[in-house]
């Protein structure tokens, strides 16, 4: 049986309620002595081993609430965060419209990418390192004589990474369940903490919501790319290239986990994004 975490006394936590327990760790809603609520995340052993909890907390501390949930405290494997009681972006997608959700995401991304007042953390993972799994899978396919989607996507990723523009700290995992509304409006949660081309931070939006058939709808992909490119002053072709590369990266992670069915679902998103990109180039 897992023990309750040893919360630091200075956090003034009077009671807590476990609301999630997964591969990434445990999440508690806590009541504090000052009458406020907060969320405490306890990182799992896997997250700690990969250093993701440090990168995530460092990114949040650097943003200091600008576009992101506010980091209230950190201690060992624990991070205390601003309590968000509002809706997720997924709710906007389901109850209002896909375009409305995309517009909100673009605003959050714009605020996340705003120039910081202090130097960025040194712990952030460079984007090239983030793509290692894809490059490894593509090389294995090449050696096996396979001209796979992984190989094509790795070539696209190499070109993108060799020509990164305006490199800056990135959230690294923007999607419909990682944007929530709180007292300060819409903010992002659960950053990966990366460093690279800001166009990459948009790629995961095409892959979400995870269970939606719209992920492979070329009309939806084209519309989303147009909204995001316009509102974030990005080249639409570049966004589609990153969407194509990211889907294969996601698939390579699934292959490593032995989840081949999910890998194929990821590749299908990339296939659709590539088709939209080709139509754009042909036009």
- Cα 264–171–56 angle (5° rounding)? 105
- Do both 175 and 226 map to the same domain? yes
* pLDDT surpasses 80 at 3: no
Mean pLDDT of the 219-233 span = 97
Tell whether 54 is covered by a domain: yes
CA distance 85 to 98: 22
- Residue 63's domain comprises 9-82
Residues 41 and 151 in one domain: no
**Range 88-109 average pLDDT:** 97
Same domain for 74 and 146, yes or no, is no
Last residue of a domain, one of 63, 82, 101: 82
- Are both 107 and 214 inside the same structural domain? yes
What tens digit of pLDDT does each residue of 26-68 get? 999 999 999 999 999 999 998 999 999 999 999 999 999 999 9
Task: Assess whether 57 and 183 both reside in one domain.
Answer: no
pLDDT in tens, 230-268: 999 999 999 999 999 999 999 999 999 999 999 999 999
Pair (39, 99) in one structural domain: no
Within-domain flag for 181 = yes
Residues 153 and 226 in one domain: yes
Nearest CA to 55 among 126, 7, 115, 114? 126
Nearest to 82 by CA among 104, 107, 64, 56: 64
CA distances from 106 to 101, 199, 223, 270 (A): 9, 11, 13, 21
The pLDDT of 165-188, averaged and rounded, is 96
- pLDDT (0 to 100) of residue 211: 87
Higher pLDDT, 211 or 188: 188
In this model, does residue 283 exceed pLDDT 80? no
pTM for the model stands at 0.94
Q: Are residues 276 and 146 in the same domain?
A: yes
Domain for residue 4, yes or no?
no
Query: pLDDT averaged over the chain?
Result: 95
For residues 132-147, average pLDDT: 97
Written as one string, the DSSP assignment of 84-127 is --S-BHHHHHHHT-HHHHHHHHHHHHHHHTSPPSSPPPTTPEEH
End-of-domain residue from the set 82, 105, 133: 82
Whether 134 shows a pLDDT value over 70: the answer reads yes
pLDDT band at 116 (very low <50, low <70, confident <90, very high): confident
Domain with residue 158: its CATH number is 3.90.1200.10
Give 4's pLDDT tier (boundaries 50, 70, 90): confident
Tally of domains within the chain: 2
User: Same structural domain for residues 154 and 230?
Assistant: yes
CA pair distance 203, 190, nearest whole angstrom = 16
Is residue 173 flagged as an active site residue? yes
Of 173, 190, 197, 201, the catalytic one is: 173
H or E stretch at 211: none
Q: Mean pLDDT across the stretch 168-182?
A: 96
| Domain edge (last residue) among 82, 102, 133 | 82
């Amino acid at each position: 049986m897992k023990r309750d975490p040893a919360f630091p006394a200075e956090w003034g936590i009077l009671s807590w309620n476990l609301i999630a327990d997964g591969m990434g760790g445990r999440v508690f809603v806590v009541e504090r002595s000052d009458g406020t609520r907060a969320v405490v995340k306890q990182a799992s052993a896997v997250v700690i081993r990969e250093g993701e909890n440090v990168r995530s907390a460092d990114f949040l501390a650097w943003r200091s609430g600008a576009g992101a949930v506010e980091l209230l405290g950190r201690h060992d494997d624990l991070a205390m965060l601003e309590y968000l009681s509002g809706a997720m972006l997924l709710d906007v997608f389901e109850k209002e419209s896909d375009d409305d959700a995309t517009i909100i995401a673009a605003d959050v991304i714009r605020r996340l990418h705003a120039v910081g007042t202090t130097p960025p953390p040194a712990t952030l993972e460079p984007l090239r390192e983030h793509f290692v799994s894809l490059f490894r899978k593509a090389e294995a396919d090449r050696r096996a004589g396979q001209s796979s989607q992984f190989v094509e996507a790795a070539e696209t990723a190499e070109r993108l990474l060799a020509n990164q523009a305006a490199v800056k700290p990135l959230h690294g995992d923007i999607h419909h369940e990682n944007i929530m509304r709180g007292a300060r409006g819409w903010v992002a949660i659960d950053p990966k903490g990366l460093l690279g081309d800001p166009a990459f931070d948009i790629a995961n939006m095409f892959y979400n919501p995870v269970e939606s058939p719209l992920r492979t709808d070329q009309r939806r992909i084209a519309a989303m790319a147009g909204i995001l490119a316009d509102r974030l002053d990005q080249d639409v072709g570049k966004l589609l290239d990153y969407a194509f590369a990211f889907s294969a990266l996601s698939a390579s992670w699934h292959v490593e986990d032995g989840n081949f069915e999910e890998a194929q679902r990821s590749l299908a998103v990339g296939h659709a994004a590539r088709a939209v990109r080709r139509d754009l180039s042909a036009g």
